[in-house]
Amino acid sequence: MTPRERFLRVLNFERVEDRLPMVEWAAWWDKTVERWNGEGFPTGLSLEESLRYFGLDPMIMINGSAISDELPGPDAHGAPIIHDEETYEEIKRYLYTDSIIDKIKAVAKELKQKHDRGEIIIRLWLDGYFWFPRILFGIEGHLYAFYDHPKLMHRINNDLTEFNIRVVEELFPILVPDMVGFAEDMSYNHGPMLSYGMFNEFLTPYYRRLIPHIKKYNVKVLVDSDGDITRMIPWMYEAGIEGVYPLERQAGVDVVKIRTEYPDFLMMGGYDKMVMSKGEKEMRAEFDRLLPVMKSGGYVPSVDHQTPPEVSLENYKIYIKLFGEYAEKAAK
């Protein structure tokens, strides 16, 4: 089977013939790669070449962000770019532009042949409706903006929806991705950063407006949110979202419990990255924990975030060996 066939079958709760897909949805930290280079990992490889080096199924992201690379960044990480309507107007020339759309389409055309042959899995990354205003308002300013600038919050998410619809309508006739993942990061290790009421007011209407455009192409819709998203799963169902990743174990996410309570909810990730530096026994125990969910379908196992630099190249290769073993077990 091709990587793409494996991935699509699992997302559709269908049987795979050889093994589950083996993906790294976000690859590795720069510092992790630097360490591995010092331990024998070849330098100068592309992302696809690096994934193939480890025997992984290449998952390639098409970046569909509404933000141009030319937008001046904040003064510091998490600092605001805008403060009000006036400053939003000042930066709009860097958002939602024709050149962004053209770049997305150009990338799709480059990847199309490999994708058509099933050699790569394509994940389309779109800005989500919690994530995007936070980039603009900054981390603290964003949380105040729900109360101080609700009309502007709605205006931003309406503008983003129009752009996201345009991405779908112009990209998908060229290349239909294998999933759409919305960047959100709206939870931390004690649960959501916003209430159900806020989610329902500021996010749900825009997801409900956009998702039908995606579903015309029968593409699965997932959300990328770190932290403990468990309490938010019913909210996501209401918005039309079908799954979530990366399911961080250290934040308290339990994919076994989620599969029991939500049997048709799609999941990707869930493998506790913190055991990867501890050795084969601990890594095997983690795969044993996940195996029943791997067998259930609708779950793409992967590291629950990027592999940290504490993980040696030797230990990562042990992880890959075990991943292949359990991916085959889950298909039987």
* 187: confidence class by pLDDT, cuts 50, 70, 90: very high
Residue 201 has pLDDT above 90, yes or no: yes
Give the H or E element holding residue 220. strand 220-224
- CA-based nearest residue to 308, from 329, 288, 282, 278: 278
* CA angle 156–162–165, rounded 5-degree value: 135
What pLDDT digit, counting tens, does each position of 141-173 carry? 999 999 999 999 999 999 999 999 999 999 999
Residue 114 has pLDDT above 90, yes or no: yes
Q: What is the CATH number of domain 3-331?
A: 3.20.20.210
Percent of all residues in the chain with a pLDDT value above 90, rounded to a whole number: 98
Provide the residue ranges of all domains of the chain, joining segments of one domain with +. 3-331
Q: For residues 309 and 148, what is the distance between their CA atoms, to the nearest angstrom?
A: 40
Quick one: pLDDT at residue 149?
A: 98
Interval 99-105 mean pLDDT: 98
| Sign of the C-alpha dihedral computed for residues 28, 19, 280 and 318 taken in this order | negative
In this structure, what token pair is assigned to residue 225? 């949110």
* 107: confidence class by pLDDT, cuts 50, 70, 90: very high
What pLDDT digit, counting tens, does each position of 215-241 carry? 999 999 999 999 999 999 999 999 999
Q: For residues 185 and 157, what is the distance between their CA atoms, to the nearest angstrom?
A: 16
What pLDDT digit, counting tens, does each position of 313-322 carry? 999 999 999 9
Interval 106-110 mean pLDDT: 98
C-alpha to C-alpha distances, 180 to 82, 141, 219, 250, 310, nearest whole angstrom: 28, 28, 7, 25, 31
Residue 85 has pLDDT above 90, yes or no: yes
Q: What is the DSSP string of 124-156?
A: EEEE-TTHHHHHHH-HHHHHHHHHH-HHHHHHH
Interval 122-151 mean pLDDT: 98
Quick one: pLDDT at residue 297?
A: 97
Residue 209 main-chain phi, psi, to 5 deg:
-75, -40
Residue 127 has pLDDT above 90, yes or no: yes
Residue 14 has pLDDT above 90, yes or no: yes
Q: Mean pLDDT score of the chain, rounded to an integer?
A: 97
Residue 27 has pLDDT above 90, yes or no: no
